[in-house]
Amino acid sequence: MLRERLAGLGLSTLAQRVAADPPHRIMARALRVTRQTHALRAGGDLLALAAVAVRRGLDVRSMHALHAAAAPGRTALVDAHRRLDYATLDAEIDAIALALHEDGARRGEPVGMLMENRCEYVATWMGLTRLGIACAHMGTSSTPDELEPLLQRSRIRRLFVSDATWPTADAVARAHPELGLRLFHVGSPQAPAPHGASSYHALVRTCLGRPLPSPRGRSESASVVYTSGTTGRPKGAVRDLAALGAMELLRILERLPLRMGDRHLVVAPLYHSGAQAFVLINTALGATVTLMDHFDAARALDLLSQERIHSTFMVPTMIRRILDLPPEHHAHRPTPALRAIVSGAAPFGAALRQRAIARFGARTIFDFYGATELGWVTLASGEDMLERPGTLGQPLAGQELRVVDEQGRTLPSGEVGKIYTRSGQHMRGYLEDGARGVERAPGELTEPGWITVDDLGYLDEDGHLFLTGRARDMVITGGVNVYPVEVESVLSQHPRILDVAVLGVPDEEWGERLLAVVVPGEGFDPDEATAWARARLARAKVPRRWETIDVLPRNPTGKILKGTLRDRFGAAAGSTVP
């Protein structure tokens, strides 16, 4: 197993320092390692692969080219419209990169992506990495009023759009000619682009087969991911994809059952950092990556079964919707090939974890702690979840983790404080703010490299992380600190609560009153729920007010929009208890 994983690793990123190696050493290393891979045993061209390694190096920019040389006919990408092998995809990546180069795209001006998951999204993203130009991943639900300030702050002047996002981008371009916005439309291969846009497929056809100029300067693979904006305006976190190098990939493979030539399903939007990470990891392993343009629970389960998918990344809401499908749908959709469902980006509650483990098995379910700004920090397996309910696991190798108090002093195990991390996967800074906006702790954490996203939690005696919420979300009621995530985790286990969000609202007597907004199941009763909660929570943690809602508002990555709930329920009467 380890030999197979290392072979897959070697095919894409033999060493981070390889750009400085003499050509003969690059060739020797490429030949030695790739002789062991399944790809070359299937008929790949060793000399072609060595030539790619010498010409392009061995990093994120060259992953597809190396696989195209080693196994040109292996399927690389699948979406609702197209199925591309590695050779075809690699040629398309070069073609769109050349088209952008000839259009005047240069380093220092990010290129924006505003479209749903599809093969052209990945090709353009990878083409930009070959040019050393930052790719800015933008949420497809943006309105013109939301999109315009992002473009202004980030200096994006080129934007890729689809049929669905064209109206928004066109409205911004017409209303703000000072932006000089150039739009590239991705639609049907033979259909013309709308007036005012360039056709992606026409550009590819024009440039296909022509050589791409070799990039000058050091390898850059910047990716800009916009934070969700649930607590303020979105910020563009700049990540260096090259930071996910050989050692980081090996550390992940030590903890996740991913293998060379797997089949991976992408259901989260590609503007989400979790989806991006799994595309990169699986591409490094020569996997077949299947893209869903939007999440549909029934279709996702169909694909997991029919395509014999080995791994997928999902936010907890997606997992819940799959588990809520009728039993007969599950009965006819076995998933024997599935080795990993990895959850992230939002709290994965205890009750939902138990349901997922019951359906897919403890060895298949994983959860991680991380953030756009931090990368992956910890990983918990289903076995960890059963042994230590609520845990987010131990840090991955190479990740340092501390929990500190308000003075920056490291806290002992079991005590709640602010979580700080240090690793080579941190973002460079925010696109519009450079390195500003990255908070450092006082006291013991004045040494460089430690950052936080204001999450609160604690470590147990064995170094397993438990999350309690965010500092800005903490509720102080009657002088007692209450962490909503802890309360939500308990309430989610109530048999007549389908979904729940806990927040604080102003209260004259207590300062803040704890409010639970629940999606009720049949027979839900606030008085019964209060008695149930009192048997499991300290009195200060029991909600004093209950509200019901059909569906909790969430952003596209599954995070609950608590500001929306405060606006709706902050002054409402609701069902209260003394």
Assign residue 208 the CATH number of its domain: 3.40.50.980
Whole-number Å distance between alpha carbons of 344 and 352: 13
For residue 521, tell me if it sits in a domain: yes
Cα angle value 161/275/153 (rounded, 5°): 50
pLDDT at 8: 44
The per-residue pLDDT for 349 is 84
Amino acid at 390: G
DSSP-based three-state secondary structure for 20: helix
Residue 53 lies in a domain: no
**What averages of pLDDT result for each successive group of 10 residues across the chain (578 residues)?**
42 34 41 40 50 60 87 95 96 97 90 96 95 90 86 90 96 95 94 94 96 67 65 65 60 86 95 89 93 96 97 92 95 96 87 94 95 86 96 91 89 93 76 49 59 90 90 76 85 92 84 91 94 90 94 81 86 53
Picking from 237, 253, 275, the residue at the C-terminal end of a domain is 237
Which spans in 193-256 are helix H? 200-207, 246-255
Check which CATH number belongs to the domain holding 557 and give it: 3.30.300.30
Using only C-alpha atoms, the chain has a radius of gyration, in whole angstroms, of 24
Instruction: State which of 218, 237, 256 marks the end of a domain.
Output: 237
Q: What pLDDT is recorded for position 43?
A: 43
Q: Considering 194, 220, 237, which residue would you say is the last residue of a domain?
A: 237
572: burial class by Cβ within 10 Å (0-12, 13-18, 19+)?
A: exposed
DSSP string for residues in 556-575: TTS-B-HHHHHHHHTT---E
DSSP 57-81: -SSGGGHHHHHHHH-TTSEEEE-SS
Which structure tokens are listed for 362? 């403890």
Question: Which residues span the domain enclosing 535?
Answer: 474-576
pLDDT at site 555: 76
- Joined tokens for residue 323: 């588990």
Long-range Cβ contact pairs of 445-450 (< 8 A, separation 24 or more): 445/402, 445/404, 445/408, 445/420, 446/408, 449/422, 450/400, 450/402, 450/420, 450/421, 450/422
173 lies in some domain: yes
Establish if 328 belongs to a structural domain: no
Is position 12 within any domain? no
pLDDT of residue 58: 58
Q: What angle do CA 307, 309, 310 make, to 5 degrees?
A: 155
**Which pLDDT belongs to residue 117?**
97
How far is it, in rounded angstroms, from Cα 488 to Cα 501?
A: 6
Is the separation of the CB atoms in 207 and 123 below 8 Å? Answer: no
Work out how many domains the chain is built from and give that number. Answer: 2
**What does the CA dihedral 126, 131, 134, 138 come to, rounded to 10 degrees?**
-40
What's the pLDDT score for residue 408? 84
Q: Is residue 224 part of a domain?
A: yes
Letter for the amino acid at 544? R
Q: Is residue 289 part of a domain?
A: no
Residue identified by tokens 């609560």 is 497
Rounded to 5°, angle at Cα 197 from 196 and 199:
145
pLDDT at 381: 97
462 in any annotated domain: no
Q: What is the pLDDT of residue 567?
A: 86
